[in-house]
Chains A and B, each alone.
Chain A
């Protein structure tokens, strides 16, 4: 196991670049191949790239798509399976089977849970008078969760090999979902009125009421016409209209 520490560390570091060559054909496939490669070096014949090694590298760089923080689970599991000489079809089936669960779990845990929870908490802190310290706290706490998840994913995949699906049912993962999602909902609701009050502070009373009016009309439009009205279009229309109104007002 000691001999593996360096390749595992190299794979871990490379996982931070897993999306660097993201494309419409293989999505994160190439990044997966790059991250998996250090774990496959024992398949080489000395310094020569033997056929087993090249075939494993080629398989590792095929199409793959999942949440970037959880790609390590697939990298670890498939690298372990390659080293143990699992049949190629079985490895390909394993990769294909992991795409859906890793995407769904990562999206719920991070994009829907952890990230908005901490980002809205930072907005609350700013609205209550904290300054840049809220941003530092956001970055530190978010990345403790982020980096821990990346390392857990890679090591759990590597330890589990073909039995990796069991790792996804780890009690800590399921408990995290049960805590993070309601917490995100609570803090999100708490954040909105405080953000409104804080954003209205430097604006005189009349325009501040106008701000609430834009927010109310915008909410209605975004809910009723979600295909036509997006936050970006609403923002551009509101700023453009206000600019014209300001020109008339001067």
Chain B
């Protein structure tokens, strides 16, 4: 394992812990996770592009209550690594494929974490009902450590997949596949963002603001 791998592993772990446990300052957002992963690899361009793609995928998710969702933070770190090792910004689609798979793994691991935390709470329920602060602290810190291990494991798995995919050398094998997968991933991300953002806006009075923004965006995209 190289130094770059270890630094990415540490970053992915922090990103994974930020999502739910602490401190929720939004380094778990793909835009941030991806750009910093790119900077750590000396490839900010790939980080930014992958960050935007996964940010658009993220809009498809509303993390309310106990809802289950894919986890795109460590997934974006793995995606940036896969794209960087497979050819840079043009390997966007390869990175996105890896990231989406790691996103599923992250989502499953969150479910495992919540179940494991519930088991720990049940095991300590007598002491918790008795107001034992030491037990309360132990169970709470245990949850935090469990999440750190979970986030680290998901990132490690993601980086391993990214390394394996880079060994396939898709750029050499089929340059066309790089371009096509990049276009397909960007298209799917735009569809996710194009569905998720209007869902957030809803059908109420703010819909006219969305329409106004869309019209202005089309004009600016045309002339800029």
B215 nearest CB across to chain A (Å): 8
A172 to B61, CA, bound (A): 28
Task: Let me know if B216 and A190 touch, CB within 8 A.
Answer: yes
Task: Let me know if A188 and B183 touch, CB within 8 A.
Answer: no
Instruction: Please give, as numbers and ranges, the residues of chain A lying within 8 Å of B217 by CB-CB distance.
Output: 189-194
A33 to B124, CA, bound (A): 14
Please pick, from A20, A58, A181, A197, the residue contacting B21 in the complex, using a CB distance under 8 A: A20
Please pick, from A25, A185, A199, A202, the residue contacting B213 in the complex, using a CB distance under 8 A: A185
Instruction: Please give, as numbers and ranges, the residues of chain B lying within 8 Å of A190 by CB-CB distance.
Output: 213-214, 216-217, 220
Q: Quick check: is A9 within 8 A (CB to CB) of the other chain? A: no
Please pick, from B24, B104, B118, B187, the residue contacting A24 in the complex, using a CB distance under 8 A: B118
Task: Let me know if A239 and B185 touch, CB within 8 A.
Answer: yes
Which of A73-81, A83-91, A116-124, A160-168 lies at the interface with chain B?
A: A116-124
Instruction: Please give, as numbers and ranges, the residues of chain B lying within 8 Å of A234 by CB-CB distance.
Output: 188, 191-192
**Interface of B with A (CB < 8 Å)?**
20-27, 29, 31-32, 35-36, 39, 44, 48-49, 51-53, 55-57, 59-66, 70, 89-90, 93, 96-97, 100-101, 103-104, 114-115, 117-118, 120-122, 128-133, 136-137, 139-144, 147, 170, 173-198, 200-201, 205-207, 209-218, 220-221, 224
**Interface of A with B (CB < 8 Å)?**
16-17, 19-27, 30-31, 33-34, 37, 49, 53-58, 61, 65, 68-69, 103, 107, 111-112, 115-116, 119-120, 122-123, 126-128, 131-132, 135, 138-139, 142-143, 146, 181-200, 202-204, 207-208, 210-219, 221-223, 230-232, 234-243, 245-247, 249-250
A-B contact pairs, 8 of them (CB 8 A): A30-B139, A119-B31, A185-B206, A195-B190, A218-B188, A231-B60, A246-B179, A250-B174
Extra inter-chain contacts (12) besides given A30-B121, A37-B136, A199-B189, CB under 8 Å: A17-B22, A23-B118, A115-B26, A138-B26, A138-B31, A182-B205, A188-B201, A200-B186, A212-B187, A218-B190, A222-B60, A235-B188
